[in-house]
Chain A
Amino acid sequence: MKLTGAQILIKMIKEQGVDTIFGYPGGAVIDIYDELENHNDLRHILVRHEQAAVHMADAYARAKGGVGVALVTSGPGATNTITGIASAYMDSIPVVIFTGQVPTALIGNDAFQEVDIVGITRPCTKHNYLVKDIKKLAKIINDAFYIATSGRPGPVLVDLPKDIMAATIEFEDPGKAKLRSYKPTYDPNKKQLAKVVKLIKKAKKPVIFAGGGVVLSKASPELTQLARTTQMPVTASLMGLGAFPGSDPLWMGMPGMHGTYRANMAVTNCDLMISAGVRFDDRVTGRTDKFAAGATIVQIDIDPTSIHKNVEATCPIVGDCKISLALLNELLAKEDPEEINGSTMNRQEWIDQIAQWKATSPQRFTQGPDVIKPQFVIDTLHELAGPNAIITTEVGQNQMWTAQYYHFDHPNHFITSGGLGVMGFGLPAAIGAKAACPDQTVVCVAGDGSIQMNSQELMTAIAADLPVKIVILNNRYLGMVRQWQELFYDKRYASTNMEMTPDFVKLAQAYGATGLKTDKPEDVASILKEGLNLPGTVIMEFLVEREELVYPMVPAGGAINEMLLV
């Protein structure tokens, strides 16, 4: 069967089980867009800025538990995707980005809208390709999807010169992808797992620390089973929120810079830490020499480079989280339950200690009668939207309050730019998640600063009929930076005062969405209810306490048990 390059591309995208792609046309991809017109079963969401296309593909992949695809043109279309790609790279999200390129004969000539996107994205992709020969096209696309979705996932970019897309070739199915130099390790070393069983048996003060890897490998059921059978309390990084139910009594909240008091105290004082799918980011560990200093650290991760990178693991296990945890559970099932659940080691003392830490310094806020507390908005949102809503965030205080006060029960329900910390992520991410899960409520929690970084995507939400709910916590500050300035820079609010913000209600209306707004605590619930119940896209703006701070806070570089509390 003779096919054009564009036909091969679309055929192979569809074979990945992808029903929606996100993109923006241009001269170099015009052949692909022309071909797309023939495929009603592959929905193309026309974004308003290419950065948003990648964020949407990222969130689509997470919400669906699959792969996301973005398609953009050469030159500026390609460079606009960088922030999205870098964010997906830091968070290990499987995304394949197809960029147009000038015809092969023009490459290197500084042609119109030519840029060396493969060179530019080399450090922020898992791998990338420039297709110079149509004979290699099918294999490259096949490999790109395989690399993006296997091992530790990540973004892969494929650069497609215009002439390759227009050329024709006899199509040959490349079959199952197989690369000589790339063979991720899924199966863990069983001897190491047997060691973990012994460690669990003799632990007095164990904790489980789950990360994004648990969510990515769909290992939440295995993790939850492990925690419950062993009665080990659980903490999870920002990327791991939802991997373990936030409503479970063993849940301690997030650790690190804005972690709960009990999670940070438990991590500091534990004698065994079983970590899975975490990379011990500096926002989690604070001072690494004080981090879980007295503990035996078990680290399960599919990426060998994550092991011993920031924290020395006493018992490293390279392998897939789901497979490793399932095998660990099997081994534990053969043991005496009394030894496993901590009765022999009297672990109840540890559980009581954690409960006491919780009582000493609970995560709390006090909502008075006059000014809305941002935490109150999130708390009320959690009550109204519930555990089944998908929540995306922007970056900053809005993100931290959401992480703290929206107690996620399910994986893939909290979608945030964790590693790169991209302001402007939340709105496109909400749209991408809605495309993946049209029957679920999708809410973007934003700040007044970050929402302005990609607010043009309101048009995409309306035009593509992907209704999302946007909660803006408006404090007219770049709140997180202001928080640092207040605490560590003598309250010199250099360039963080944003007293001039747009009229967000009118902004919503300008795009054909609904805008709601209040500054009264008593109206928070009714506005949220109204906004969530309206059928279309809604902005709900809350004028909140301007100088509210995110607490607890560990000053950068400090030990995590040295927290600033409320």
Chain B
Amino acid sequence: MKIEKHLLSILVDNEPGVLSRIAGLFSGRGYNIESLSVAQTAENQKLSRVTMVTNGDEHIIEQIKKQLHKLINVITVSDLTEKKYVQRELILIKVHARPELRAEILRIVDIFRCRVVDVGPDHYTIEMSGDEGKLEAFIDLLKPMGIIETARTGSIALGREKKKL
């Protein structure tokens, strides 16, 4: 069967150890986590939202969703891949900025509508958000300049419909 990428939005109790239960489920059963992002929800302090990108064939994805739902602290598991959704990811990129390349970097920053958040004598730190494709395209363009280091949040997403997930 075909391996597919799935974007899951998981609402969980905001309690110690819950993330470890999810991570343990994935390592124990040999599932993959491509990215993971967790924070308390603004609408209810007792809940956290986990957004996860995972992959597997249809059969494995079905088990992943069921096994997640089986965890006592997991309230809902929503597979956004099957729905319409908006997805964002934030990246901070520290890149070499030699004088002859500065103008080019700023042009790229301008084209991608992101911004420089820190400047050093010979480096820029750039903040950029978007979906995965946009981030990858941006990174590819900066690679020739010499990327020093990066930090990425992993995807976060919400369904497009008005009702809650």
- B is a partner of A: yes
Q: Please, which residue of chain A has its CB at the minimum distance from the CB of B59?
A: A308
With known contacts A118-B17, A304-B66, A305-B63, A126–B28 Cβ distance under 8 A: no
Any B CB within 8 A of the CB of A147:
yes
Give every chain A residue within 8 A of B74 (Cβ-Cβ).
Answer: 181
B24 touches A123 (CB 8 A): yes
Give every chain B residue within 8 A of A126 (Cβ-Cβ).
Answer: 72
C-alpha spacing A126/B75, complex, angstroms: 16
Give every chain B residue within 8 A of A130 (Cβ-Cβ).
Answer: 17
Give every chain A residue within 8 A of B69 (Cβ-Cβ).
Answer: 304
With known contacts A122-B24, A123-B28, A181–B75 Cβ distance under 8 A: yes
A309 touches B17 (CB 8 A): no
Any A CB within 8 A of the CB of B70:
yes
Give every chain B residue within 8 A of A448 (Cβ-Cβ).
Answer: none
C-alpha spacing A119/B63, complex, angstroms: 23
Q: Please, which residue of chain A has its CB at the minimum distance from the CB of B73?
A: A181
Residues of A315-334 at the interface with B, using a CB-CB cut-off of 8 Å, are none
Size of A's binding interface in residues, CB under 8 A: 17
Residues of A270-319 at the interface with B, using a CB-CB cut-off of 8 Å, are 303-305, 308-309
B20 touches A303 (CB 8 A): no
If over half of B's interface residues share one DSSP class (helix, strand or loop), that class is named, otherwise mixed; here it is helix
Interface size class of B (residues with CB under 8 A): 10 to 19
With known contacts A123-B24, A123-B28, A181–B63 Cβ distance under 8 A: no
A179 touches B72 (CB 8 A): yes
Give every chain A residue within 8 A of B70 (Cβ-Cβ).
Answer: 303-305
C-alpha spacing A473/B20, complex, angstroms: 44
C-alpha spacing A309/B13, complex, angstroms: 27
B17 touches A122 (CB 8 A): yes
A127 touches B72 (CB 8 A): yes
Any B CB within 8 A of the CB of A180:
yes
Residues of B65-108 at the interface with A, using a CB-CB cut-off of 8 Å, are 66-67, 69-70, 72-75
B63 touches A309 (CB 8 A): yes
A181 touches B20 (CB 8 A): no
C-alpha spacing A305/B63, complex, angstroms: 6
A122 touches B72 (CB 8 A): no
With known contacts A181-B13, A181-B73, A181-B74, A122–B21 Cβ distance under 8 A: yes
A147 touches B63 (CB 8 A): no
Q: Please, which residue of chain A has its CB at the minimum distance from the CB of B16?
A: A130
Give every chain A residue within 8 A of B73 (Cβ-Cβ).
Answer: 181
Q: How far in angstroms is the closest Cβ of chain A from B54?
A: 16
With known contacts A122-B21, A122-B24, A147–B72 Cβ distance under 8 A: yes
A305 touches B66 (CB 8 A): yes
Q: Please, which residue of chain B has its CB at the minimum distance from the CB of A304?
A: B66
C-alpha spacing A182/B13, complex, angstroms: 11
Residue among A127, A130, A179, A305 with the highest chain B CB neighbour number at 10 A:
A305
Q: How far in angstroms is the closest Cβ of chain A from B1?
A: 12
C-alpha spacing A179/B73, complex, angstroms: 9
Any A CB within 8 A of the CB of B136:
no
Give every chain B residue within 8 A of A180 (Cβ-Cβ).
Answer: 75
C-alpha spacing A130/B70, complex, angstroms: 20
Give 1 or 0 for each of A163-196: 1 = CB within 8 Å of chain B CB.
0000000000000000111100000000000000
Q: Please, which residue of chain A has its CB at the minimum distance from the CB of B17?
A: A118
Any A CB within 8 A of the CB of B62:
yes
Give every chain A residue within 8 A of B59 (Cβ-Cβ).
Answer: 308
Q: How far in angstroms is the closest Cβ of chain B from A507?
A: 39
C-alpha spacing A268/B27, complex, angstroms: 34
C-alpha spacing A308/B59, complex, angstroms: 8
Give every chain B residue within 8 A of A305 (Cβ-Cβ).
Answer: 63, 66-67, 70
Q: How far in angstroms is the closest Cβ of chain A from B159?
A: 20
C-alpha spacing A127/B73, complex, angstroms: 9
Q: Please, which residue of chain B has its CB at the minimum distance from the CB of A152?
A: B70
Q: How far in angstroms is the closest Cβ of chain A from B63?
A: 6
Give 1 or 0 for each of A111-142: 1 = CB within 8 Å of chain B CB.
00000001100110011001000000000000
Residues of B1-35 at the interface with A, using a CB-CB cut-off of 8 Å, are 12-13, 17, 20-21, 24-25, 28
C-alpha spacing A308/B75, complex, angstroms: 22
Q: How far in angstroms is the closest Cβ of chain B from A518?
A: 47
C-alpha spacing A335/B74, complex, angstroms: 42
Give every chain B residue within 8 A of A182 (Cβ-Cβ).
Answer: 72
C-alpha spacing A181/B24, complex, angstroms: 19
B20 touches A122 (CB 8 A): yes
Give every chain B residue within 8 A of A118 (Cβ-Cβ).
Answer: 17
Give every chain B residue within 8 A of A122 (Cβ-Cβ).
Answer: 17, 20-21, 24
C-alpha spacing A180/B28, complex, angstroms: 26
22 contacts between A and B (CB under 8 A): A118-B17, A119-B17, A119-B20, A123-B24, A123-B25, A123-B28, A130-B17, A147-B72, A179-B72, A180-B75, A181-B12, A181-B13, A181-B74, A303-B70, A304-B66, A305-B63, A305-B66, A305-B67, A305-B70, A308-B62, A308-B63, A309-B63
